[in-house]
Amino acid sequence: MSKPALGRGLGALLSGVGSKPTPAPAAVPPASALAAPTGPLTGSGVRTVPVGKVQPSPLQPRKDFTRESLEELAESIRRQGIVQPLIVRPMNGGFELIAGERRWRAAQLAGLTEVPIVERAATDHEVLELALVENLQRENLNPVEEALGYSQLGSQFSLTQEEIAARVGRSRAAVANALRLLRLPEAIQTALRDGRLSVGHAKVLLGIADSKAQQSAFDRVLSGGLSVRQTEELAARLLAPVQSATPAAAAPVAAGRDVFVVDLENKLRERFATKIGLRYRSGRGSLEIRFASDDELNRVLSLLGISID
């Protein structure tokens, strides 16, 4: 099954640049081997420039580039050249990357002195947005990089979660859940970055409010190679009510929220894409669904199958 398009996608960047040009035997194919874009360009189409004139963008959400994958791409570039130009914008007498940093890095490993580029005018907002879309489409971002990209869109450009979701082709719930990962301690975020921990594990750890218990669970997940289900069971034990040894205080005192209640609350939050409050104890409790506007209330009612006559 093909993946649905995200946001405006690379079409907004390339605007007619062929995605499958015929490879040239030279290290860098001539401009004539690539279709010229028709979008808002600042230059004259595809041309080559010294690789040192191109610099990475500080707005690029992707920060982790593995040496192994870069070497593989560099070898391909040595054989076939760069078959898709870098998308750049003029900056400080040179060029700043909008899309194609991995190709730019691999080109240097391959020993290229020039790279093909397409110039276009773009604001900081557009650069970050389009870089996010490109990486999301290609599944290049780790969960923390994705979350940081959403956070930057929100903080730097004052966008709401709904606006961020619309721009990158994600649901609001997906954006909200990604942003929650940034609440985790740095060590756990690092494990997410390098693939030692999955998002499923991270969601369980987020449900452990006590920092010491959270760290203990994290350590045991890594050392024991626990599955997500095993992590849930571990968290439930860590959060189990503490029974007093004296009969006078027989009622349990909660050491934290039950991980299964937290997990259910998260699922409800994802379903309704709004803030949810779930309280549960011994078969009794309450469910609070919050909304911030009439439109949001109508959307929640629609999901519940309720219409206002």
CA dist 221 and 243 (Å) reads 26
Active-site hit among 75, 96, 101, 119: 101
Answer yes or no: is 36 within a domain. yes
Q: Does 42 share its domain with 128?
A: yes
Which residue among 101, 133, 165 closes a domain?
Answer: 133
Q: What tens digit of pLDDT does each residue of 226-268 get?
A: 998 899 888 888 876 433 333 443 333 334 567 777 778 877 8
Answer yes or no: is 25 within a domain. yes
Is 134 annotated in the active site?
A: no
CATH of the domain at 22: 3.90.1530.30
Q: Does 75 share its domain with 91?
A: yes
Q: Does 15 share its domain with 118?
A: yes
Q: Does 59 share its domain with 75?
A: yes
Q: Which pLDDT score, from 0 to 100, does residue 61 have?
A: 73
pTM above 0.75, yes or no: no
Answer yes or no: is 6 within a domain. no
Q: Does 206 share its domain with 285?
A: no
Q: Does 43 share its domain with 32?
A: yes
Q: Does 220 share its domain with 262?
A: no
Q: Does 210 share its domain with 301?
A: no
Q: What are phi and psi of 121, to 5 degrees?
A: -80, 135
Q: Does 89 share its domain with 42?
A: yes
Q: What tens digit of pLDDT does each residue of 97-108 get?
A: 888 888 898 999
Structural domain including 206 reads: 199-257
Query: Strand 86-91 vs strand 94-99: parallel, antiparallel, or unpaired?
Result: antiparallel
Q: Which pLDDT score, from 0 to 100, does residue 182 have?
A: 92
Number of domains in the chain: 3
Which residue among 86, 103, 133 closes a domain?
Answer: 133
Tokens of 188: 């756990």
Q: Which pLDDT score, from 0 to 100, does residue 250 have?
A: 36
Answer yes or no: is 16 within a domain. yes
Q: Does 102 share its domain with 207?
A: no
Q: Does 264 share its domain with 247?
A: no
Q: Which pLDDT score, from 0 to 100, does residue 234 have?
A: 87
Q: Does 239 share its domain with 128?
A: no
For residue 173, how far is the Cα from the chain centroid? 13
Q: What tens digit of pLDDT does each residue of 36-50 get?
A: 333 344 455 888 999
What is the residue whose two structure tokens read 């966008």? 159
Mean pLDDT, each 10-residue run in order, the chain (309 residues): 44 41 36 33 72 86 77 88 87 87 89 90 82 69 86 82 84 88 93 91 88 91 92 82 39 52 79 80 82 76 77
Answer yes or no: is 150 within a domain. no
Answer yes or no: is 152 within a domain. no
Chain-wide mean pLDDT for the chain?
76
Answer yes or no: is 143 within a domain. no
Answer yes or no: is 238 within a domain. yes
Buried b / exposed e over 246-283, threshold 16 CB at 10 Å, is: eeeeeeeeeebbbbebbbebbeebeebbbebebeeeee
